[in-house]
Amino acid sequence: MPSEFRLVRTVEFSETDMAGIMHFSNFFRWMEACEAGFYRSLDLPLISFVPGNVVGWPRVSASCSYKQPLRFNDTVEVRLLIKELRTRAVVFLFQFRKMDAAGQVRPAVVAQGEIAAVCVTADAAGKMVAQPIPAAVRAKLEPAPASAYTA
């Protein structure tokens, strides 16, 4: 059962401000791209519209702390870790690290984010209702060991 996933991206010009620094909002876009890649790697839908089995993952909290800027053309590893697996929610931790010209990940975390997402379904009126994470999904997830947060 996986507890982490990695995505490599390059900062595009359109993601930067006039100083060539990645705009803070793009960190959240990259976290969601990493999460979507994680679900794809497990052959799980991020959202399912199957009638009678609608499942989605709305966010109940999201944050990001920035330690160093990312700049145009920086290559970055985004690392997703499952911080918590609750009955109805998953809490993801995201670590951003620059990569050097040889493709090696530098040790310093330049930004760190967190997203808590609740598993929901649609009731008869189409309203979102929190539900336990389906067994087939839960079987493919596990929290990362505490030691992984510093690696």
Indicate which CATH number applies to the domain containing 8. 3.10.129.10
H/E element holding 48? none
150 within domain boundaries:
no
Q: How far is CA 90 from CA 108, 116, 138, in A?
A: 25, 6, 10
The residue segments making up the domain with residue 8 are 4-141
Count up the domains in the chain and report the number: 1
Q: What single letter denotes the amino acid at residue 130? A: A
- Work out the average pLDDT over 93-105: 96
151 within domain boundaries:
no
Give the confidence band of 54 by pLDDT, cuts at 50, 70, 90: low
The predicted structure's pLDDT at residue 88? 96
Question: Contact, 101 vs 58, CB < 8 A?
Answer: no
Question: Contact, 90 vs 144, CB < 8 A?
Answer: no
Global pTM reads: 0.93
146 within domain boundaries:
no
Query: Helix-strand-coil percent breakdown of the chain, rounded to 5?
Result: 20, 40, 40
The predicted structure's pLDDT at residue 115? 98
Give the confidence band of 51 by pLDDT, cuts at 50, 70, 90: low
Question: Contact, 64 vs 112, CB < 8 A?
Answer: yes
Give the confidence band of 55 by pLDDT, cuts at 50, 70, 90: confident
In the sheet that holds 111-118, the strands lie side by side as: 4-10, 75-85, 89-98, 111-118, 59-66
